[in-house]
Structure 1
Amino acid sequence: MLQELTIKDFAIISDLNLSFYSGMTVLTGETGAGKSIIIDAVGLLAGGRGSADFVRQGAERSVLEGQFFVGPKLLGPLTEELATFGIEIHDGVVIVSRMILKNGKNVCRVNNHLVNIQVLKRIGHFLVDIHGQHEHQELMKVERHLDFLDQFGQEQVAEIKDTYQEIYHRYQVLTRKLKEVRTNEKENAQRMDMLTFQKQEISDAKLQVGEEKQLEKERQWFMNYQKISDALSSSYEALQGNEFSSLSQIGLAMDEMDGIQELNQEYQHLYEEIASSYYQLEEASRSLKVELDSVELDESRVNFVEERLNLIRQLKRKYGDSEEAILSHYERVVQELDATLTAGDQLEQLADELDQVEEALQKAADQLTEVRKITAKKMEQEIIAQLKDLYLEKTVFEVKFQKKVWQRTGQDDIEFFISTNPGEPTKPLVKVASGGELSRVMLAMKSLFSESQGITSIVFDEVDTGVSGRVAQAIAEKIHYIATNSQVLCITHLPQVAAAADHQYFIEKEVVDQRTETKVGELNQTERVEEIARMLAGEVVTDLSRQHAFELLKLSK
């Protein structure tokens, strides 16, 4: 229930603090005094749409704050909802504040935690249900009838509906995926051709890491073949080409020094150095001979190296800047080909899985329809009973079903039918019900929902407009009955409704310092008699109207 409400600089309200109680509370006063402004403030605390137009002229901001107490029925679900936003609740108390700045910016807090409007609306759904004059127009929207039915049978419908919606979500995912796979079949075939070619091209190349570097080295040797051959030949010729070659001359010097090495230690040293050089050059000469004999230009090998290098360069241009990159691309191609080759299998698997999901979805849809039809029968009976209390005792109310394709809400099209005249067939509610009848049907639904939903506060904003006499009395009793399950705040111009309330506030406008302000005060018993008498008589209150007001209050008690 709403316990405290603070309003500052909001429309024509400068500063207002109100305390509310359980049961039924009515707000009365002249038209334009500001009753609906108070309801607007409560609606904004529940996440309603706000704008800078609400800021009082001359003020920088409007500040609204409400303290709600949540009963046991909603405490668990609300605690879970708040926990998802990191908000704690203590002793069932929720404090909601909203600041609307002159520039249109909104600052919202729940239990001192900043939240956005969407979060505030989700939380406000647990706290306040505002039913204004236009709310009965929701009954004129056929697409809302299913929501009303599910709301009525929430305990029975919710679980199977959740199950259905889980399967339906899987059905949507599979349907989209299957469509994508089928759409891409042609593109996949074209890509498979390209991947197959790439795989074959790289595979045929039998590329080895480091091969290009080795081939470049070999090519470099071919390019310098003549230079190498000439150098080897000339070097060998210089060392051993004839009897006057360098090696033979050094051998002669070695023989001469060998003859005198024993005469002097220095000569021996010279002999050893010359002998060492001779043997080293002799070994080099043999190596030169081997190299010279092996040097031969293989034209076929030259052509192979050139062709191989050209192939590697082509592969690098297509698939990467190194042998490693080309081979990595090859691995990716192989993997994608494997995946693409299994696309046909995937398509078959998806189709099989979709068949299974469709079967499960139809089963869940049938179960949901069955539960809804049971709920609808109960709703029909209880709405008819409620309408009897509202002097629509001859009314027949029906919930009619039609099957549609699978949607998120199920496979049911729901529409309310009604007949208010005996012997007449039921017809669509949206086509035949009058405004007064719509209001009473909606009030009947609120009576039913107030028991099951446990909403903290229900607000009725002039839902009794256009009725009088015994119907007004019946509406007053119905609203009071709703207040036995939820706190009710009600704006009314009907004395019967005002008299049925447990508490009554009088709202009026005053001019203070040349500014219009709304004032609110709770009425005691004597003041209530006077206010209800004014509602009965109009401008001039007579003793008879006071007596009538007193009787109304007495009867209500």
Structure 2
Amino acid sequence: MLAQLYIKNYALIDELDVNFDQGFTIITGETGAGKSILLGGLSLVLGKRVDFSNIKDSSKKSIIECTFSLKDYDLTPFFDCYDLEYEPETIIRREVLPSGKSRAFINDSPVTLAVLEALGQQLIDIHAQHETLSLADDAFQFQIIDALAQTHDLLNNYKDTLADYKENQKKLESLQNQQQQSKKDYDYNSFLLQEIEEAQVLNLDLKTLESQYETLSNVDYIQSELQFAQQILSHEDVGVSTQLNELKQRFNKLKDVSSECTALFERILSTQIELEDIFTEIEHHQNILEANPQLLFETENQLKKINDLFGKHNVQTIEELNFVFEELSKKVKHLTSLDAQLESVNNLLLKNIKKLNKISSTLSAKRNCVLIDLQDELHLLLADLGMPNAVFKIELQPCSDFLFNGKDVLKFLLKANKGGQFLPLNKGASGGELSRIMLAVKYILSKHQQLPTIMFDEIDTGVSGEISNKMASIMKDMSQYMQVFTITHLPQIAAKGTHHFKVFKQDFGTTTTTQLAKLNSDERLEEIAQMLGGKEITETAKQHAQQLLN
């Protein structure tokens, strides 16, 4: 419910602060008094674009602020979705700065115009005579049918399942594309993987292998040098061991006559032991070293395989080649796993289809149950609204596709006059007729679902007094379920209101401003009498006005 409207520095309004109540609120005023200014200001807090020519003083900030009572609306999920603080009394504010920039706030939190508009659509519905195109919109027509059929929970279940279905379709398409691409790469990657596996090089120590190759390829040279080393060490006359032994004997005698030679003697002993160990090692290597052409061939072959694989995969170590092997394994295994994934997604899609078909069937049945009653109620309402010959034909036809709200194709057809033919609403009715149809539809909807505050802007244009009286009764009935505003020039409608406001212009020196005031019972009588008889209010006009109010 719109509880308060505050406007500052907008069009002809200097500053306006007005409170509203639940029920049926009437707004009247002379042509040009500024009723459209109120709607223009209100549209800004509903997310519409700013027309900067409407700012009264461009050097000052313009503010339009609305307070809405949300206790009857289930809007907590909306506030949670946009990370906004929920308040039962929510304030929406729009500011237009002298710089030309505009800002929007919900409970003092800055928001984008898109968020403002999304919330505004759930809070207030401004309906003018020329804004009836939604009647021909599929979504709006289904809203009417589904409100009567009470399919809210069923429809939400359908939409959730449809979202899953579409998501699984995307997954299936993606997997199929991957499979198609993987098949192209599968043979090549399998060949590379097999080549590395058959080479059996992943667990080899490259350094050890290279050392082994060097040794095997130089056996003769190594044996020759080891033999020469043995001769240097063990030659009977000039060998290092012979001379070191003689040196040891000499220092053995010297240590008895010179204590300084004792340390040198011990070092000679140590050197002799180390030299004997070296000799033993040389002898051992010479004994175990032998030519092995077969092992040399195998070692050389392994090194060649490794170097070939290094070059092919642009790596330099066995570790890097191992990584390449693991990546190739993943790619090859991926194709195999894709088959299982495809089967799983296909099974999910089959479940989605089964569930969607079941829900769609139930939706269709529920909708078909209310079509006749809806047609009859529309016929009765439109007859009261001056369209006694209007006949509705609402058709619900099945289709094979899963649509946004089921598998039904809905047609709202109207035959406005006798002898005419059934046509879509936007072709079969005039602008005034569409306005009356919209009023009838909104009235029916108001009894079956929580609608936002609705504001009718001169929906009664071109309507006779008798029909306007019925329109007023319908809007009055609607106000039992929701807050209803109507801007009107007709006294019959103005008299039916629970609350009555007047828009008027007021001159202050050289400046004209627009004001909005709530009328008391006496002021209201005067306003309706003036609407009946003009500026010169007669006693007859007053009596007529009183009759209307009674």
The interval holding the TM-score normalised by the smaller chain is 0.7 to 0.9
- Alpha-carbon distance, 1:386 to partner: 2.1
Matched, 1:159 2:141: no
Distance 2:138 2:198 in 1: 69
Matched, 1:483 2:479: yes
Any idea what the Cα deviations from partners look like across 1:85-129, whole Å, max 9, x if unmatched? 454556x42222221234453322333333333333333334222
Map 1:347-496; keep pairs closer than 5 Å.
Answer: 347-404=342-399, 405-421=401-417, 426-455=422-451, 457-496=453-492
**Does the 8 Å contact 1:215/1:305 carry over to 2?**
yes
Distance 1:525 1:256 in 2: 144
State the match for 2:43 in structure 1. 43
Change (3 A) 1:308 1:511: farther
Single out whichever of 524-533 and 383-392 deviates more from structure 2: 524-533
Q: Tell me the secondary structure at the aligned position of residue 27 of structure 1.
A: strand
State the match for 1:343 in structure 2. 338
Any idea what the Cα deviations from partners look like across 1:204-235, whole Å, max 9, x if unmatched? 12224561122233345468767644542332
Q: 1:508 aligns with which of 493, 504, 507?
A: 504
Matched, 1:324 2:319: yes
Single out whichever of 60-69 and 213-222 deviates more from structure 2: 213-222
Distance 1:513 1:447 in 2: 46
Distance 2:198 2:178 in 1: 29
**Does the 8 Å contact 1:146/1:413 carry over to 2?**
no
Matched, 1:195 2:183: no
Distance 2:369 2:304 in 1: 80
State the match for 2:27 in structure 1. 27
Q: Tell me the secondary structure at the aligned position of residue 467 of structure 1.
A: coil
Single out whichever of 43-52 and 197-206 deviates more from structure 2: 43-52
Q: Tell me the secondary structure at the aligned position of residue 114 of structure 1.
A: strand
State the match for 1:78 in structure 2. 75
Any idea what the Cα deviations from partners look like across 1:11-67, whole Å, max 9, x if unmatched? 221111122233222222222221011122223333344443442243432101222
Distance 1:41 1:268 in 2: 116
Matched, 1:177 2:174: no
Q: Tell me the secondary structure at the aligned position of residue 495 of structure 2.
A: helix
Change (3 A) 1:68 1:178: closer
Distance 1:89 1:429 in 2: 40
Aligned residues: 547
TM-score, L = length of structure 1: 0.86
Change (3 A) 1:301 1:547: same
Any idea what the Cα deviations from partners look like across 1:444-476, whole Å, max 9, x if unmatched? 112122233334522111111121231222222
Distance 1:373 1:102 in 2: 56
Change (3 A) 1:401 1:289: same
Q: Tell me the secondary structure at the aligned position of residue 391 of structure 1.
A: coil
Any idea what the Cα deviations from partners look like across 1:339-374, whole Å, max 9, x if unmatched? 311323333343333223212211111111112222
**Does the 8 Å contact 1:55/1:102 carry over to 2?**
no
Distance 1:117 1:523 in 2: 35
State the match for 1:235 in structure 2. 229
Distance 1:519 1:275 in 2: 123
Distance 1:179 1:123 in 2: 36
**Does the 8 Å contact 2:182/2:335 carry over to 1?**
yes
Distance 1:100 1:138 in 2: 30
**Does the 8 Å contact 1:52/1:103 carry over to 2?**
no
**Does the 8 Å contact 1:533/1:541 carry over to 2?**
no
**Does the 8 Å contact 2:492/2:548 carry over to 1?**
no
Distance 1:209 1:396 in 2: 87
- Alpha-carbon distance, 1:79 to partner: 3.5
State the match for 1:292 in structure 2. 286
- Alpha-carbon distance, 1:429 to partner: 2.5
Single out whichever of 363-372 and 504-513 deviates more from structure 2: 504-513
Q: Tell me the secondary structure at the aligned position of residue 99 of structure 1.
A: strand
Distance 1:68 1:143 in 2: 26
Distance 1:527 1:400 in 2: 50
Distance 1:424 1:254 in 2: 139
**Does the 8 Å contact 1:391/1:474 carry over to 2?**
no
- Alpha-carbon distance, 1:7 to partner: 0.4
- Alpha-carbon distance, 1:188 to partner: 1.5
**Does the 8 Å contact 1:387/1:395 carry over to 2?**
yes
Change (3 A) 1:102 1:132: farther
**Does the 8 Å contact 1:132/1:462 carry over to 2?**
yes
- Alpha-carbon distance, 1:291 to partner: 2.7
Single out whichever of 358-367 and 214-223 deviates more from structure 2: 214-223
Distance 1:370 1:444 in 2: 24
Change (3 A) 1:282 1:78: closer
Q: Tell me the secondary structure at the aligned position of residue 200 of structure 1.
A: helix
State the match for 1:67 in structure 2. 67
Single out whichever of 383-392 and 242-251 deviates more from structure 2: 242-251
- How large is the Cα RMSD of the aligned pairs? 3.3
Change (3 A) 1:87 1:205: same
Distance 1:37 1:267 in 2: 121
Any idea what the Cα deviations from partners look like across 1:373-404, whole Å, max 9, x if unmatched? 22333322322232233233343223211223
Distance 1:229 1:321 in 2: 33
Matched, 1:116 2:112: yes
Q: Which amino acid in 1 is paired with 2:350? A: D
Change (3 A) 1:277 1:437: closer
**Does the 8 Å contact 2:495/2:528 carry over to 1?**
yes
Map 1:85-164; keep pairs closer than 5 Å.
Answer: 85-89=82-86, 92-141=88-137, 144-150=140-146, 152-153=147-148, 156-164=150-158
Structure 2 portions without partners, runs of 5+: none
Q: Which amino acid in 1 is paired with 2:172? A: L
Q: Once the two structures are aligned, what percentage of the paired residues are identical?
A: 28
Distance 2:57 2:250 in 1: 129
Single out whichever of 27-36 and 292-301 deviates more from structure 2: 292-301
- Alpha-carbon distance, 1:177 to partner: 2.3
Change (3 A) 1:374 1:213: same
Structure 1 portions without partners, runs of 5+: none
Distance 1:252 1:483 in 2: 130
**Does the 8 Å contact 1:376/1:399 carry over to 2?**
yes
Single out whichever of 136-145 and 464-473 deviates more from structure 2: 136-145
**Does the 8 Å contact 2:416/2:428 carry over to 1?**
no
Distance 1:118 1:240 in 2: 100
Q: Which amino acid in 2 is paired with 1:287? A: E
Distance 1:79 1:350 in 2: 35
Change (3 A) 1:457 1:273: closer
TM-score, L = length of structure 2: 0.87
Q: Which amino acid in 1 is paired with 2:67? A: Q
**Does the 8 Å contact 1:65/1:95 carry over to 2?**
yes
Change (3 A) 1:20 1:274: closer
- Alpha-carbon distance, 1:162 to partner: 1.1
